[in-house]
Amino acid sequence: YGRITASKAYEAAHCKVLDGSLTENILGASKLRDTEAMKRGRYLESQILKEVEKINKCGLQLNAAFPIMGASPDGE
């Protein structure tokens, strides 16, 4: 099943298209294009995480009551 991460919740809140592409992406029916912004984000992620104080490695955090909702605050 599709999992709604914090990133996807943000996308949904700011979605301006009605073509269903966000729903397809959440459900895994389509892959995202690897944009320059995504490449830059992956490139810079480890450097940015080093700058943030007291990052605890925690990986994907799920809401026990609603496991469809998740976020990875540490970038893992």
Q: pLDDT tens string for the chain (76 positions)?
A: 677 788 888 888 888 888 888 888 778 777 777 899 989 989 998 888 787 766 677 888 888 898 888 888 776 6
- Cα 66 to Cα 3, 17, 61: the distances in Å are 10, 26, 11
Residue 61 has a pLDDT of 86
Residue 55 has a pLDDT of 67
Residue 9 has a pLDDT of 85
Residue 28 has a pLDDT of 74
- Cα 24 to Cα 14, 21, 29, 53, 74: the distances in Å are 16, 5, 5, 36, 26
